[in-house]
Amino acid sequence: MHQTPEAQFVVDHVEHDIAFVLENLGTDERAMRRRVEEVLDALGVAHLRDRSPATLSGGERQRCALAGALASGPPVLVLDEPTSMLDPQGADDVMAAVRRLNDDLGTTVILAEHRLERAGPVADRVLVVDDGRIVDDGDPAEVLAALPGAPPVTHLARLLGWSPLPLTVRDARARARGAEVPERLATAPGRGDDAARTPGRTLVRTAGASVAHGARTVLSPVDLEVAEGEIVAVLGRNGAGKSSLLRLLAGAHPPAAGSVAAEVPVALVPQEPDSLLFRATVRAEVESTLALLGRRDPAAVERWLGRLRLAELADRHPRSLSVGQRQRVAIAAVAVGDAPVLLLDEPTRGIDATSRLA
């Protein structure tokens, strides 16, 4: 399965796309229908069967693309970041489906994944790749515990002096029963009240604004105010309307009803970074935003390249980069413009733990 699920669809209908590979294999129609139903149910996408992939959210497309990959029951399944666009429940469902394939059918699974807390518990073996080389190969618990991007619960367990180190919250919870917290952690200072922000004036406001795709309402009427200095987290399952809300606030999608008002410029980094990348180099992508604003600021360009760990990639063509690297380029190219309101749609898609912290 591709890292970019939209590249995997060949038919403009979810159910037909899943059946496509079975048709090419000459599968009996009755068996084909049964198999399509099985993968639709296994990945929780039966309600999307009659939709066009183009109308789905990123996470919904990812699950439907995985359903297509599973349909033929391949003996070897290669998955390139299959949970990068999924909500937590969706990611758990996918990993459970992968585990069942391995347990029930003996399917060999090769899984590339940044979210180690997802991959670690289902893996029998972990390979670590760095700079084009395999630098480690071994037991998941031992290998992942030593990585900078180990799950937070693993870092906490290391501070507590636990051995062996847990990879999941469930494992940590079982280990924590009756455990004592070291004094140095029990008295560690928190963020405190001084970390709180005081919101300023309202910059973006919606009044009864809704979004529709044709006859289908994808976002019910919303009354929302976003104030200066706020950090607003938009949460929800795949297909809940998060991307539609951000496009509405950015003015990229007109409201079907109600109104949207912005007092200042609003910038959006969309879920698909490729839609923003059209220059010959990474540096040119970042510079182009300032050029559109009539500005030239080499220091700001270098600052954002460094901040998002792109300095070594500055002279590369954006299309030659990985999805996670292209995501960072898109963020830098938008953020360098210093818009008063910055909207980020799934900004950590395909990005490793170290880069997510940046």
- Residue 273: which of 265, 282, 264 has the closest Cα? 282
Task: Give the DSSP letter of residue 165.
Answer: P
- Has residue 110 been placed in a domain? yes
350 and 308 together in one domain: yes
Domain with 233 in it: what CATH number? 3.40.50.300
CA neighbours within 13 Å on the CB side: how many for 222?
A: 25
Whole-number pLDDT of residue 196? 56
Distance from first CA to last CA of the chain, Å, rounded? Answer: 28
- Has residue 291 been placed in a domain? yes
- Has residue 248 been placed in a domain? yes
234 and 281 together in one domain: no
Q: Where are the alpha helices (DSSP H) in 53-131?
A: 58-70, 88-100, 116-119
pLDDT tens for the chain, residues 1 to 358: 887 888 889 899 999 999 999 999 999 999 999 999 999 988 889 999 999 998 888 888 888 998 998 888 889 999 988 887 787 887 888 888 888 888 888 889 999 887 777 777 788 898 988 888 898 898 887 787 777 767 777 777 777 877 777 777 777 777 777 666 555 555 555 555 545 567 789 999 999 999 988 888 889 999 999 999 999 999 888 888 899 999 999 999 899 999 999 999 999 999 888 888 999 999 999 999 999 999 999 999 999 999 999 999 999 999 899 888 899 999 999 999 999 999 999 888 766 656 555 5
Whole-number pLDDT of residue 100? 83
Domain end among 114, 139, 163 = 114
75 and 136 together in one domain: no
242 and 291 together in one domain: no
The total number of structural domains that make up the chain: 4
- Has residue 46 been placed in a domain? yes
- Has residue 196 been placed in a domain? no
Domain residue limits at 248: 201-264
Whole-number pLDDT of residue 180? 61
> What value, to the nearest 5°, has the Cα angle with vertex 239 and ends 122 and 228?
105
